[in-house]
Each structure stands twice: as structure tokens, then as C-alpha cells.
């Protein structure tokens, strides 16, 4: 008899955004005349920039000719993209990365969820709270998170990020093996200074821990003093794996491309104390389970780094950050406590006194036809907050703020 992996049965009934979709669809059925405006799901709305489209057309034409057709590509990714990443994303900030440390993927969500499987199931994990659900759910699937009760996992160390601590997580008061950090943060939209990030790198060095660092929103940083990469911190190459994505940077949510950096210095131990480099283990895993990102997607990503591509992508990012400013200014004027939205495309909004996250979600939906994301869906410390995203169309953003004002 085939036995199921019962750790999957411990997961909450459905994924957060699936719950939101069900509630929104039910509202649409009962209110067919109302146009719903979604500021909750973090999907982009602006089209791919011209430089990317041009590169995709060219790559498609190449695939139509026998002389330039490509089948399976290298699992790590094509050299042309990995070299562009090193030059523009790292060398430009004084960070040296070897090409063998760059792994092209089909978006950061895949690798942030998959990377944990090369580490033992009984490693302890710590997560900032609130947190992107994939980090915990993927660990729960392997049995590392324990049991889910009253909105918390029994074997997870939660690191609260609230207004009371300025959304800066405190270091654990005990040893944690694996630490998930996401900055600029999803969902709170907040950032860590170089000094704060240095504390985490030092903690990992002192405790022989590994930091899984999600930098998917680094392109939205406006403050020049905020680090874009954890490798800007001395010693991080020994303890950190970094994930990046083109989904929100360049509108690739439907194209699928990103990358993971696994420095050769990052190691983990066997039970008998032998140190093993994670770079080689991850490479072995990818060669077994992943056939590489499509050639067309990688050529599209390469185009982001051309002068035209960089200018055009910046224009799109500026568009979304203008949306964030509009929402931040309006909500603040209406008396809400608003966080984020200055170095990230997310706004973290305190609900009115005594209103829980799902209750306020339904008040917005049924009151003005606007969709947000309930903060409690991101973890216990998210209760009493909602998340807005800046990825909507400008007209929808303005209309949503007008409805809330009225």
C-alpha cells in the first residue's frame, strides 16, 4: 500500500491567496454590478518593457531556425545571463560573485521553497513574523515545522516584527539552524539598515547557522544606504544564500525567471562533523530535478541589463512606487497608521482599533469593493494589519483611494 506524506495533511486547508480568491468570487456573484479593485495580490499589471519584448521576439526567431535552435540548456543557466547578473547586480555594488555560484531559475518562489530540502529535516528554523507563507509551508511539507495549532507552528521560532520594535526583528535568544530573511520585506514593506543586517550575519557566523535571504524586491530600494544584497555585509558569503526574481523587478510573473546565489564558502555539516559545500549539493539537486529555465526567458532577462532595458525597467518601477506614494499619502491623511511603501511596493496598514484582519478585509470588500490581504495570513504578528500592493493600474489605485475617502 502506498502511504501519503502526512506532513502535507498538517498544512492549513488552503493557501492564503486561494482563500482570498474564494471570498472575492463570492462577493462578485452577489454584487455583479460592483467593479472590484484588487490591491491585495502581488501580481504586476504593466506590460513587459520594449527591450524585453524585442529580445523575446529575436530569441523566438532563433528557435524557429535549425542553425540557431536550442533544446535543453545548462541547468545552472546560460553564461550570457549569469555574466550580466554578476556585472550589473553585484560588481556594480562592489560584490564579487563567481559564475559557478549563480543558478538561474523559473522564479524565486521555486527556489525559496525547494532549497530547504537539501538540509536535514530536523534543522531548527526561524522566520520573521509576519512572513511570506512559502517559507514555512515548504518546511512543514518535510516535517520541520512541527504541528499547526492556533495559527502557529510548534517547531518554528517566530521573530516578531511589529510597530513596537519598528519592524526590526530581534535576534533569537537561542540557536537556530536556518533563518529566513526577506528584505525589502514582504508583507510589511520595511527594510533593514546595513548595521541591522550585519547583526544577523554575525549571529549566523557565531551560531553556525544558514541565512536564506530573499531579495526579490531589492530593485525598489530608494534609500542609497540600504543594502541591496546580503553579500554587501562582511562574512555573509560564509553563511548566506540569496534569492532574486525578475517577477516584480521587470514584470516577469508570467515569463518566469530569477536566480539564486550559492557561494562556495557556504557549508553544512554531516552528523560526523564533515563540512559539505552547499553549492555542489544544490547543483546536484538542480541537475536531477530541474531542466533549466527556457532560452527565451533568459534572453528576455538579459535584455533588462542593456542601457535601454535598465531605463525602461526603472520607469515601470517608478510607476509602481508612485502608486505606493498615492496610497501612503491618502491612507495617512485618512488617519491610518501606514508602514512601508517607501523602499518597497507593499504598504502595511494598521486596522482600526479592535478590528481583526479578516474582518477589515470584508469591510473593505463589501463596503467599497476593494481587495486587500489580511495580515494574519502572514503569521501571528500580522493580526491587526492588512497589506496593500502598489502593482495595480494607476486608475484603479486612484479609484480605490477615492472610494475609501468617501
Q: pLDDT tens, position by position, for the chain (406 residues)?
A: 999 999 999 998 767 888 898 999 999 999 999 999 999 888 999 999 999 999 999 999 999 999 999 999 999 999 999 999 999 999 999 999 999 999 999 999 999 999 999 999 999 999 999 999 999 999 999 999 999 998 899 999 999 999 999 999 999 999 999 999 999 999 999 999 999 999 999 999 999 999 999 999 999 999 999 999 999 999 999 999 999 999 999 999 999 999 999 999 999 999 999 999 999 999 999 999 999 999 999 999 999 999 999 999 999 999 999 999 999 999 999 999 999 999 999 999 999 988 999 999 999 999 999 999 999 999 999 999 999 999 999 999 999 999 999 9
Q: Phi, psi at residue 77, to the nearest 5°?
A: 115, 160
pLDDT at 354: 82
CA–CA distance, 230 with 18 (Å, rounded to integer): 32
CA–CA distance, 227 with 233 (Å, rounded to integer): 8
pLDDT at 224: 94
Given the candidates 3.30.413.10, 2.60.40.10, 3.20.20.70, 3.40.640.10, the CATH classification of the domain at 53-305 is 3.40.640.10
- Judge whether 191 and 220 are in contact, CB under 8 Å: no
Mention every residue, 6+ apart, whose C-beta is less than 8 A from residue 242: 213, 215, 229, 230, 231, 260, 261
Q: Phi, psi at residue 14, to the nearest 5°?
A: -155, 165
Q: Which residues are annotated as a binding site for pyridoxal 5'-phosphate?
A: 72, 108-109, 132, 186, 217, 245-247, 256, 291
Give the residue extent of every domain in the chain. Answer: 13-47+308-404, 53-305
Would you say the pTM of this structure is higher than 0.85? Answer: yes
Helix axes 357-368, 394-405, angle to 10 degrees: 100
Given the candidates 3.40.50.300, 2.60.40.790, 3.90.1150.10, 3.40.50.10800, the CATH classification of the domain at 13-47+308-404 is 3.90.1150.10
pLDDT at 302: 98
Q: Which residues are annotated as a binding site?
A: 15, 42, 72, 108-109, 132, 186, 217, 245-247, 256, 291, 387
Q: Which residues are annotated as a binding site for substrate?
A: 15, 42, 109, 132, 186, 291, 387
Amino acid at each position: 500500500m502506498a502511504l501519503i506524506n502526512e506532513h502535507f495533511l498538517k498544512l492549513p486547508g488552503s493557501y492564503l491567496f486561494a482563500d482570498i480568491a474564494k471570498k472575492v468570487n463570492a462577493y462578485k456573484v452577489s454584487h455583479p454590478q460592483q467593479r472590484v479593485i484588487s490591491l491585495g495580490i502581488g501580481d504586476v499589471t504593466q506590460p513587459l518593457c520594449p527591450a524585453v519584448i524585442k529580445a523575446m521576439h529575436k530569441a523566438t526567431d532563433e528557435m524557429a531556425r535549425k542553425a540557431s535552435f536550442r533544446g535543453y540548456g545548462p541547468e545552472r543557466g546560460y553564461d550570457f545571463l549569469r555574466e550580466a547578473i554578476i556585472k550589473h547586480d553585484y560588481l556594480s555594488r562592489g560584490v564579487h560573485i563567481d559564475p559557478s555560484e549563480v543558478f538561474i531559475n523559473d522564479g524565486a518562489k521555486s527556489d525559496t521553497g525547494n532549497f530547504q530540502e537539501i538540509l536535514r529535516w530536523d534543522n531548527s528554523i526561524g522566520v520573521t513574523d509576519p512572513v511570506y507563507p512559502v517559507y514555512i509551508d515548504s518546511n512543514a511539507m518535510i516535517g520541520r515545522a512541527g504541528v499547526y495549532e492556533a495559527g502557529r507552528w510548534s517547531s518554528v521560532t517566530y521573530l516578531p516584527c511589529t510597530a513596537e520594535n519598528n519592524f526590526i526583528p530581534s535576534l533569537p535568544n537561542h540557536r537556530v539552524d536556518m533563518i529566513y530573511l526577506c528584505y525589502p520585506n514582504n508583507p510589511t514593506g520595511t527594510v533593514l539598515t546595513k548595521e541591522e543586517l550585519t547583526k544577523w550575519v554575525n549571529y549566523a557566523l557565531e551560531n553556525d547557522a544558514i541565512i536564506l535571504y530573499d531579495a526579490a524586491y531589492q530593485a525598489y530600494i530608494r534609500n542609497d544606504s540600504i543594502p541591496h544584497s546580503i553579500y554587501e555585509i562582511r562574512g555573509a558569503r560564509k553563511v548566506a544564500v540569496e534569492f532574486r526574481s525578475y517577477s516584480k523587478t521587470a514584470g516577469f510573473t508570467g515569463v518566469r525567471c530569477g536566480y539564486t546565489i550559492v557561494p562556495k564558502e557556504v557549508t553544512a555539516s554531516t552528523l560526523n562533523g564533515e563540512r559539505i559545500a552547499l553549492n555542489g549539493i544544490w547543483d546536484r539537486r538542480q541537475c536531477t530535478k530541474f531542466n533549466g529555465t527556457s532560452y527565451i526567458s533568459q534572453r528576455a532577462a538579459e535584455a533588462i541589463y542593456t542601457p535601454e532595458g535598465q531605463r525602461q525597467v526603472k520607469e515601470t518601477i517608478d510607476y509602481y512606487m508612485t502608486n505606493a506614494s498615492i496610497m501612503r499619502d491618502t491612507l495617512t491623511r485618512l488617519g491610518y497608521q501606514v508602514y512601508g511603501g517607501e523602499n518597497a511596493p507593499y504598504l502595511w496598514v494598521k486596522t482600526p482599533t479592535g478590528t481583526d484582519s479578516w474582518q477589515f478585509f470584508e469591510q473593505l470588500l463589501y463596503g467599497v469593493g476593494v481587495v486587500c490581504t489580511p495580515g494574519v495570513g502572514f503569521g501571528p504578528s500580522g493580526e491587526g494589519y492588512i497589506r496593500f500592493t502598489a502593482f495595480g493600474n494607476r486608475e484603479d489605485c486612484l479609484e480605490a483611494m477615492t472610494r475609501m475617502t468617501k
